[in-house]
Chains A and B, each alone.
Chain A
């Protein structure tokens, strides 16, 4: 069974510092996708970044980048120059199979990030 592990329940970071949120995954499927979502206190889930298993380059999206280490099965999210608005819950997720075109995403437990002024 596929599994996503986020080992940091909570993190506290000073504003303007870079932060790395850890995510490891377990799959025997050679083709898979990894996603990161942000959930602010308001509750909505916001898609941040995506990495495909066959992608040669690490994904980047503005201040977000994904440190993808395939051999170690890790897909850490890096936020550069953190801002107060980055305080939120962050979820790592992996696509699980492809049934009739539907992507089942399996989520980790989440990491609560708090940015201190």
Chain B
């Protein structure tokens, strides 16, 4: 069974702090994604990666960066957290194969005060 693990379930940070959200998958998937989920807006793609050290911007990359130094690990970085980044963050992975479904982690609920 595919397992996508996000390092924290809940996180509280202060405005201006640098925040790291970590995600690890154990199925050797090529693709990894970061989404944020907000009520009424569904899931919006922040960044994704199709290979080690490769990344592409999603629909809302502003204020975020990512790092993928190893195939199994994909990190989301908030350079200077702001209150409008309070949200649920979901990491996902998938095979490179066409139409392969995304497998999600349990999410990290981040609160920025």
Contact = CB atoms under 8 A, between A and B. Distances in A.
Are A and B interaction partners? yes
Interface of A: 4, 6, 9, 33, 35, 37, 42-45, 47, 50, 52, 91, 93, 95, 98-110
Main secondary structure of the interface of B (DSSP, over half): strand
A105 B54 CA distance: 18
A48 to B, nearest CB: 9
Interface residues of B, number: 34
Closest 6 CB pairs between A and B? Answer: A101-B96, A45-B104, A102-B50, A107-B43, A107-B42, A100-B50
B90 A103 contact: no
B11 interface: no
Given A33-B99, A43-B106, A104 B51 contact: no
Contact of A91 (B42, B56, B58): B42
Given A102-B96, A103-B100, A45 B90 contact: yes
Given A45-B92, A91-B42, A110-B42, A102 B56 contact: yes
Contacts of B96: 101-102
